[in-house]
Amino acid sequence: MISPGDIQGHWRRAWLKAPGRVDHETAVHWMQSGLVYADIRIPCPRPDIRGATALSDLGDATLLGLLSAEGFAGEITLDDGICTWRRDLNWHGRPESVDAGRLRLEAWHELVEDGVHAEYSELWHRSGEASGFARRFVSGGVAAVLVSVGDRFVFGFGQADLAPPEAARTALAAGQRTDALARQFSEGFVFGRWTGEAGVACLATNPLWESEPVIRLDGRNLHFVARDFFGEPIEVAFETETESIRAA
């Protein structure tokens, strides 16, 4: 029977198959350390934002395209081969259904996931080593999760347990922009690589963060520096909520 120890590490999705849909293109990175995970999903192709200095300068259709990205983090439970991903943080707000899949380890580097509450299958490939660390952070009412494996990481931050922002998306489709939309793009998820203590974004729910050093570890603290929806500087100092959790 599969155990948490079997799924430690950095997983990349090879494909997703569901009724009427086959996806080989979306860039998906799932980091697991202990029971803590973080996951980011960036569709490809992506809207062209070349030349933009703020997401607020982009057209409504472009922003709707960027909203197809996903990011979520929290803890897992495993029961009789079924993994449930509790989404303590979710870029699209509180999920309306349980995220659960039946896992089957085909080889050390290959994992198959079949949906429990939805009809789908995903193939995952483990990348490199399995050991890593996870930390949870807080800054006022904002929570953050960092999971790192080797020289790569997934980091996400935002206000936990928010209602799904469907109203903001519906308003955007009608040509109206809300505070919820600006907040969503001013928070988010990043997949990146370490350069010393600095983390450089390779992919992000806000694409203007990419190629920039957006996080830095400083002892028990983490600093996030980037730009918000309007292109204004963001700097958030997070304090460690829990001690570093390392995979066995």
Instruction: Tell me what pLDDT residue 242 has.
Output: 64
The residue among 34, 30, 241, 66 whose CA lies nearest residue 153 is 30
Could you give the number of structural domains in the chain? 1
Q: What are the 10-residue block averages of pLDDT along the chain, 248 residues in total?
A: 94 98 97 97 94 96 96 96 96 90 95 96 92 94 96 94 75 90 95 96 98 95 97 96 53
Please name the helix (run of DSSP H) or strand (run of DSSP E) that holds residue 172, with its range, or none. Answer: helix 166-173
Residue 12 domain boundaries = 4-246
- The CATH number covering residue 158 comes to 2.40.128.280
